[in-house]
Structure 1
Amino acid sequence: MKKNKLVMIMAILLVAITLVGAIAVVVILKVTGEDKEKELTIDEVLEASVDIPQMTANLASNDFIRISFKIQTDSVKAKEELEKRDFQVKNIIILELSEKTAEDLKGKEGQQKLENDLKTKISEIMQEGKVEHVYITESLLQ
């Protein structure tokens, strides 16, 4: 009797361990598979991107900058919304630049900080999606 109980308990534990292992494998494959799906082609990136034409803004250091951007959104709907919010985006850009000095914008780190600041601020006004990346496409600091 004790032997049968012991065999039954071992069989139940073996089945339970197998099920947990199978679930873990499925979850791991699903999570790693999603990362590969998120990689967009250049055509998909362009389809969800908005060009901000060259703008001129005064900096806090009494210098000025001529700059243009390409803003990548997470969907075509977000792109359409961003195109409608063009005036708000330009306002955000001008306000952000007006607080920067020429020194703040020099070099790779300064430009990346500006891109990240704009990404955050523009995403805050979005309702249909979010900004994935802000690219500086042209910059002339004078």
Structure 2
Amino acid sequence: MKSKNKLITIMLIILVCITLLGVVALLVITQLNKTDKNAEPTIDQIVESSIDIPEITTNLSGNKFIRISLKVQTDSVKAAEELTKRDFQIKNIIITELSEMSPQDLEGKQGKLTFEATLKTKINELMDIGEVQQVYITSYIIQ
């Protein structure tokens, strides 16, 4: 009887150890495979997932003209490919938005940030794959 209880105790200890090893292994594997969603992308990843909008010349409301170039950063290469295909739609959004703006609307840091945020929102409405992370003004002249 004594050896039977000893055998059951040893089997239970072995079973508990195997279970603990399995749980630890599972936690280690999930931690190693987990990608950090909050990690900032590298500059190479940003460039790879961005597209350039070549210089557009259009009129603002009133008598002034604007020449503007942009870079649109997306969250993935696939999203950047989609934006490349939608370049005519993006240019239309830019021209339409600018035609409603006066030079004063684009003055200062806040005016430019507002314009970039508006473009980001409007372009994201078009997107099927991914989303726009940031719109950058790369050149800008009002005449």
TM class by shorter-chain length? 0.7 to 0.9
Which ranges of 4 or more aligned residues in structure 1 deviate by more than 2 Å? none
Alignment of 1:72-83 (within 5 A): 72-83=73-84
- Return the offset for 1:61: 2.2
2:123 maps to a residue whose letter is I
1:94 matched residue in structure 2: 95
2:114 matched residue in structure 1: 113
Q: Distance in 2 between matches of 1:129 and 1:43?
A: 18
Kindly name which structure, 1 or 2, has the bigger radius of gyration based on alpha carbons.
2
2:58 matched residue in structure 1: 57
Residues 110 and 123 of structure 1: is their aligned pair in 2 closer, same or farther, counting only changes over 3 Å?
same
The alignment's C-alpha RMSD in Å is 1.4
1:136 maps to a residue whose letter is I
TM-score normalised to structure 2 length: 0.74
1:129 matched residue in structure 2: 130
Paired residue total? 110
Q: Secondary structure at the match of 2:130?
A: coil
Gaps of 5+ in 2: 1-30
Give deviations 1:30-59, integer Å, cap 9, x for gaps: 9xx542x2x000000000000000000110
Gaps of 5+ in 1: 1-29
2:92 maps to a residue whose letter is N
Q: Secondary structure at the match of 2:81?
A: helix
Give deviations 1:87-133, integer Å, cap 9, x for gaps: 00000000000000010011111011000000000010000111000
What is the identity percentage for the equivalent residue pairs of Structure 1 and Structure 2? 58
1:91 maps to a residue whose letter is N
2:24 matched residue in structure 1: none
Q: Distance in 2 between matches of 1:56 and 1:106?
A: 18
Alignment of 1:64-75 (within 5 A): 64-75=65-76
Q: Secondary structure at the match of 2:128?
A: coil
TM-score normalised to structure 1 length: 0.74
